[in-house]
């Protein structure tokens, strides 16, 4: 029995490595297919620091949901992910219309998240958070600096 388990494990493991290797090779051959935003060096830094703040906000919101501190989590969602004047201006600086649209939809979803968090329901909050994070994933798959 033990031997079968080991053989099976080796089989699965080597399969996983092969799949990963193929994937990497595939990626190299295709290059980065995402649309470049053609940003200036200053805009690049500005965008990346904004992005790191988005990540920090998500981290903080997850921790606050776990502690059932929903009001605080809502404040973070509204102020760091929502469609604030600052974020509107940031989105307006980009010339790519699709990127702008996605950015605005993302920030609107941040406001919805802020609203849902006020209901103090962890499951509903996680659904809203998942929806907002869907925009992170979607945009990163489509665009690069
Ligand atoms: C509308 C588009 C868009 C949305 C939405 C978006 N990002 Fe980004 N993000 C970008 C782009 C473009 C880059 C640069 C990627 C590149 O050039 O490879 C980036 C880069 C980043 C980086 C790298 C920062 C660094 O210092 O290197 C992090 C972290 C990040 N995003 C987090 C997030 C998180 C978390 C969310 C959602 C809460 C999010 N982003 C939503 C477009 C977006």
CA 136–ligand 1 middle distance (angstroms): 7
Q: Which pLDDT score is estimated for 22?
A: 42
Cα(23)–Cα(102) distance, integer angstroms: 28
**Beta carbons of 76 and 104 less than 8 angstroms apart:** no
Per-residue tens of pLDDT for the chain, all 145 residues:
566 555 545 544 555 444 444 444 444 457 999 999 999 999 999 999 999 999 999 999 999 999 999 999 999 999 999 999 999 999 999 999 999 999 999 999 999 999 999 999 999 999 999 999 999 999 999 999 9
Cα(51)–Cα(29) distance, integer angstroms: 28
Provide the token pair at 43.
């805009």
- Cβ of residue 34 lying under 6 Å from some atom of ligand 1: no
CA 135–ligand 1 middle distance (angstroms): 10
């Amino acid at each position: 029995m033990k031997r079968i388990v080991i053989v099976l494990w080796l089989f699965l493991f080597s399969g996983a490595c092969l799949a990963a290797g193929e994937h990497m090779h595939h990626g190299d051959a295709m290059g980065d297919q995402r649309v470049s935003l053609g940003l200036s060096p200053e805009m690049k830094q500005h965008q990346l620091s904004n992005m790191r703040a988005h990540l920090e906000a998500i981290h903080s919101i997850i921790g606050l949901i776990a502690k059932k501190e929903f009001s605080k989590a809502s404040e973070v969602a509204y102020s760091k992910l929502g469609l604030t004047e600052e974020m509107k201006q940031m989105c307006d600086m980009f010339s790519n219309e699709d990127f702008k649209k996605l950015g605005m939809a993302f920030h609107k979803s941040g406001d919805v998240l802020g609203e849902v968090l006020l209901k103090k329901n962890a499951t509903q909050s996680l659904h809203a958070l998942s929806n907002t994070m869907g925009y992170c994933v979607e945009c990163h798959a489509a665009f690069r600096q």
